[in-house]
Amino acid sequence: MTKLSVNINKVATIRNARGGNMPDVVKFALDCERFGAHGITVHPRPDERHIRYQDVRDLKPVLTEEFNIEGNPIDKFADLVCAIRPAQVTLVPDAEDVLTSNAGWDTVRHQSYLRDIVARFKECGIRVSIFVDAIPTMVEHAATTGTDRVELYTESYASGYAADRQRAIAPFVEAARVARDCGLGLNAGHDLNLDNLTFFHQQIPFLDEVSIGHALISDALYLGIEETIHRYRACLK
């Protein structure tokens, strides 16, 4: 079964807007697990505008499902991940000033750098996933770094889904096939939602994990988090 990892960054954004601890990020993560999430994802950025580094430290001892930490592996981030030792680290090449992740790694240009940082995390017993665009060459070169998985950046699929879902999914099916041929596990994330997730999963049934945050938390405003998680899980059956 494809696992659902809930990204809780937006919950931290709401908390940080007023200070204090409402909503409680740790409690929310535990509730997500209780309602059926297979994992929790956080993406601490250097400015800590949503998830804070301390949140990561607070979450690790209490979570019972897989913990996935995303981010650009600058020294501060890498040190945190190696200290926390989550189940998975997802390497994302986002600059400090971007609003949200907007591109995958150029695994050709950064092959040597990625190989070194992948090796560091794997020495700590952490599964590594590299965030890539749905381009076969990028997937193939990711495989040479020693990574365990790639995560396909799905924004282009989501933005093209309504107009022509077959055309939108085609590059992802091909990139997924290349990943499997290279022996890589496969994750996906960014702008997946209740409208487009079922078709994505039907076309790539061997997907290991999806990480979903913004859409899922937005749906929870109307449906409640328990019902929302149930609906996203239903899309992955």
Both structure tokens of 4: 């659902």
Q: Which of 33, 38, 43, 141 is catalytic?
A: 43
**Alpha-carbon distances of 132 from 7, 109, 199, 226, rounded to whole Å:** 18, 13, 20, 31
* Locus of tokens 């992955």: 236
Q: Burial level of 180, CB count in 10 A (0-12/13-18/19+)?
A: middle
Both structure tokens of 165: 């879902």
Q: Which of 70, 141, 151, 201 is catalytic?
A: 70
Whether 43 is catalytic is yes
**Alpha-carbon distances of 207 from 47, 123, 204, rounded to whole Å:** 32, 25, 6
User: Which amino acid would we find at residue 110?
Assistant: H
Alpha-helical (H) ranges within the chain are 9-18, 25-34, 53-59, 75-84, 111-123, 136-143, 155-160, 165-181, 197-203, 214-223, 225-235
Q: Which of 38, 50, 141, 190 is catalytic?
A: 190
Cα 154 from Cα 173, distance rounded (Å): 12
Catalytic residues: 43, 70, 190
